[in-house]
A and B are shown apart, each in its own frame.
Chain A
């Protein structure tokens, strides 16, 4: 058992190491790599993103040792070195402790432990499939990027107080689009032939609206800083859907990356907005992807592997949970029912086949246990 001071030193080292890596984000390539990590782990705290980035910049999906075995049927390779992420230890307070801390809260953080997790590249076994990969593959398709662009644009127009409109590129003086804080208006060059670039511009301008609009906390940042942030969010969002638009101008980092406090706040602002954008486009792609899946659902159900069947069952279940629209909910429930039927049919078939193969199991014990007679 290591001593308490050893543990403390080890923790301090982990954090210091992460910090150092962040301060090295002075060139565009490193910054991109950091943003790639951010795109993969957008829900994680800034500290944990830094920790993962510092320990394994290539990590794409992490899970604990046991979680890999139970949830993914994969095993961690022998000798693999774990990545540590911080997890708060929350404890219920006793009345005495509440008094001592001068609080009425029931729970408090009493410390942090550093959980060992492993990247998917450090494991082997069953392939990891997710519905998202499937959608991603589809998204690389030109047409699908366009439909995501339209879905995002419609969403912003209908569900928020932002206004998105398109004008000819010729009227924009060389820009691809702009955001007007006073009117909360996003304008995009509508005749841009490259649809991926169009989507990227929309992400960029949306990021401005979130980070630098009248209703946001960071509206008074210098221009260069704002542009870098917006471009970083657009980069993260495009990475997340797996579309590489090629040239990203992330070059402004060097000007503010020197100051530790500044880079931390800049990165966390980027993270906050990226998180929102990713969630939003994930939701929209799921809707788009689902519409496509619906057409084939009927005849393809029987062809799906059991694994995929379970996956789609889970994702549908989630959809049902999250949808508030009752009509949609009923539709999802119907699909859920169909998949449920198929799963139980298969299980029944397997069980019957198993019973046929192993008749001895099904036989009731006709002879009472001899040993008991004596």
Chain B
């Protein structure tokens, strides 16, 4: 997985370490697992699976005008 846009588009958090989350092959038999984050590797991203979504705090919007930004 090396497409950064996909990572952005997935709106999932990016972690440095795997932690207690699992890779795809560790979760394929268990329906309770779904992708909750990405792990950043040297040359791309790898999907991490868990059973509950990672909550990221949503701060009151400080400045959300980014009209002409390029993707």
Residues of A within 8 Å of B49, CB to CB, are 276
- Whole-angstrom distance between the alpha carbons of A361 and B61 in the complex? 56
A276 to B58, CA, bound (A): 27
| A280 proximity list for chain B (CB < 8 A) | 24, 28
Which of A278-301 touch B at CB < 8 Å?
279-280, 283
Instruction: Tell me which residues across on chain B come within 8 A of A283, comparing CB atoms.
Output: 24-25
How far is the CB of A98 from the nearest CB of chain B, in Å? Answer: 9
Assembled-state Cα–Cα distance A317/B44 (Å): 11
In this complex, the interface size class of chain B, counting residues with CB under 8 Å from chain A, is 35 or more
- Cα of A107 to Cα of B57 in the assembled complex, Å: 8
**Shortest CB–CB separation between residue A320 and chain B, in angstroms?**
10
| Given A64-B71, A215-B30, A321-B41, A7 contacting B64 (CB threshold 8 A) | yes
With CB as the reference atom, state the residue of chain B lying closest to A65. B70
How far apart are the CA atoms of A111 and B11 in the complex, in Å? 12
Report whether B31 and A318 are in contact in the complex, using a CB–CB cutoff of 8 Å: no
A85 with B9: CB separation less than 8 A: yes
The count of chain A contact residues (Cβ–Cβ below 8 Å) is 65
**B31: A residues at CB distance < 8 A:** 209-213, 215-217, 273
The answer on a CB contact under 8 Å between B35 and A272 is yes
Bound-state CA distance A276–B41 (Å) is 20
Q: Which residue of B lies closest to A11 (CB)?
A: B64
Residue of B nearest to A102 (CB): B57
CA–CA, A338 to B14, complex, Å? 33
| A285 vs B5: C-alpha distance when bound (angstroms) | 24
- Does B5 lie within 8 Å of A91, measured CB to CB? no
What is the minimal beta-carbon distance from A167 to any residue of chain B, in angstroms? 21
Contacts of B35 in A (CB 8 A): 43, 272, 275-276
State in angstroms the CA–CA spacing of A66 and B38 once bound together.
24
- In the assembled complex, the CB of A262 is this many whole angstroms from the nearest CB of chain B, namely 19
User: Is A355 interfacial (CB 8 A cutoff)?
Assistant: no
Interface presence of A110 (CB below 8 A)? yes
A117 to B46, CA, bound (A): 23
CA distance A81 to B33 in the complex (A): 37
Per-residue CB proximity of B29-71 to A under 8 Å, as 1/0? Answer: 1111111000001111011010000001111011111110111
Q: Are B63 and A322 in contact, with the CB atoms below 8 A?
A: no
Q: With the chains together, A167 CA to B66 CA distance in Å?
A: 59
Whether the Cβ atoms of A45 and B12 lie closer than 8 Å is yes
Q: Are B28 and A117 in contact (CB under 8 A)?
A: no
What distance in Å separates the Cβ of A20 from its nearest Cβ neighbour in chain B? 21
Distance between Cα atoms of A162 and B28 in the complex (Å): 9
Do A108 and B57 touch (CB < 8 A)?
yes
Contact string against B for A residues 79-117, beta-carbon threshold 8 Å, 1 for contact and 0 otherwise:
000000111111101000100010101011111110111
Partner of A47, one of B11, B24, B30, B46: B11
CB-defined contacts of A91 to chain B, threshold 8 Å: 59, 62
Are B71 and A105 in contact (CB-based, < 8 A)? no
Cβ–Cβ < 8 Å partners of B57 in chain A: 101, 103, 105, 107-109
Can you report 20 A-B residue pairs in the complex whose CB atoms are below 8 A from each other? A7-B64, A7-B67, A41-B6, A48-B10, A63-B5, A67-B71, A85-B71, A93-B59, A107-B56, A110-B58, A111-B62, A115-B71, A212-B31, A215-B30, A217-B32, A272-B34, A273-B31, A273-B34, A276-B27, A321-B42
Seen from chain A, the residues whose Cβ lies within 8 Å of a Cβ on chain B are: 1-2, 4, 7, 41, 43-45, 47-48, 62-67, 85-91, 93, 97, 101, 103, 105, 107-113, 115-117, 155-156, 159-162, 184, 209-213, 215-217, 272-273, 275-276, 279-280, 283, 314, 317-318, 321-322
5 nearest CB pairs, A to B: A160-B29, A64-B71, A216-B31, A111-B64, A210-B31
A159-B25, A215-B30 provided; 15 other pairs, C-beta below 8 A? A43-B47, A44-B6, A45-B10, A62-B5, A64-B5, A67-B5, A108-B56, A115-B70, A115-B71, A211-B31, A217-B31, A276-B34, A279-B24, A283-B24, A318-B44
